[in-house]
Amino acid sequence: MSEGPGHVGPSRPVLVTRPAGRGDGLVTLLAQHGVVVEHRPLTRLLPVRGPEVDLARERLAAGQYSHLVLTSRTAVEAFCLAESPSADSAGSTGSTGSTGSPGAPALPASLGVPPHTQVVAVGEGTAAALAAIGIRADVVAAGSGAALVEAMPVASSTPTSRVLFPASGAASPTVPEGLRSKGYRVDQVTVYRPEPVDLPEASAQALRTGGYSAMVLTSPMIARRAAAIGIHPSTAILTIGDPTSEAVREAGLRVTLQAEEPTDAALAAVVVRALDLGP
């Protein structure tokens, strides 16, 4: 998808706004193309611990769900690798400190996914995160919430068609609403929350005055925060998917390019294209 100019020139750095602990892959890919990158997170991801999460894990282990639906690597880490209920997790962000990623995990087997429960991943990245902890995704959708809903069959008429959806506190309603429209009972539980992070003043000023050739936006919340700071018209706006692009447009801005899928490789491809660095 392209709405703005396709060539912005590589003379200025690219601003990557992914949360801490989530930008390294994209930064590495861009560096391989010779792109100068500044990684300045606009949000951080904080895991949620508490009785609701513990109860969801217990119900899953007890076989009460026909499907476990996961729509991000962060949801995998925050739920599948959640600390045991006895852990002292009040206010804790784990051993990763400022990254906001969940910390020292329990053994993956402690999640207790029953054999009859199908594990559904939104895309290949989420499926890979599951595989890394020994959980196989039975269904891998095409990378968006809408694609995940499409990949799920209409629910059976039995009361066992029940979905557990561990998600962000800022999750789009696309998945739960779509699955309910297909007849599923959906239990949504918040397992992490995005929290705003301020840009350093020098970076904010550069964003407003054209100091960046492009910026990468990877969530509606990040898009809204960037728009509130102010984005110079010469800066290409590159997005990870439809919800983020919609947030950009709602803020009165134009999307230069949208990634074909929500992966680091696809994001790197649109940066390269926008900077006209391709072969």
HSE (side-chain half, CA atoms, 13 Å) at 41: 17
Interior CA angle at 41 toward 36 and 46, to 5°?
A: 145
Q: Kindly report, residue by residue over 176-195, the tens digit of the pLDDT.
A: 999 999 999 999 999 999 99
Q: Kindly report, residue by residue over 131-187, the tens digit of the pLDDT.
A: 998 899 999 998 888 999 999 999 976 667 999 999 999 888 999 999 999 999 999
pLDDT band at residue 262 under the 50/70/90 scheme? confident
Q: Hey, what domains does the chain have and what are their CATH numbers?
A: 14-42+197-274 (3.40.50.10090), 45-194 (3.40.50.10090)
Supply the pTM of this predicted model. 0.78
Q: Which tokens belong to 273? A: 């294209």
Q: Which tokens belong to 203? A: 């970076």
Q: What is the pLDDT of residue 244?
A: 92
CB 15 within 8 A of CB 213: no
CB count in 10 Å sphere of residue 214: 25
**9-23, 95-109, 203-217: segment of lowest average pLDDT:** 95-109
| Residue reference for tokens 């282990």 | 61
pLDDT band at residue 52 under the 50/70/90 scheme? very high
Extract long-range pairs of 170-177: CB within 8 Å, 24+ residues apart. Answer: 170/194, 170/219, 170/220, 170/221, 171/71, 172/145, 172/220, 172/243, 174/145, 174/146, 174/149, 174/243, 175/69, 175/71, 175/145, 175/148, 175/149
Section 110-133 average pLDDT: 89
Q: What is the pLDDT of residue 241?
A: 87
Instruction: Look up residue 182 and give its amino acid.
Output: K
- Strand ranges across the sheet with 162-168: 43-47, 185-196, 162-168, 67-70, 118-121, 139-140
Q: Kindly report, residue by residue over 8-33, the tens digit of the pLDDT.
A: 445 799 999 999 888 999 999 999 99
Cα–Cα distance, 95 to 99 (Å, whole number): 9
**42-51, 55-64, 90-99, 233-242: segment of lowest average pLDDT:** 90-99
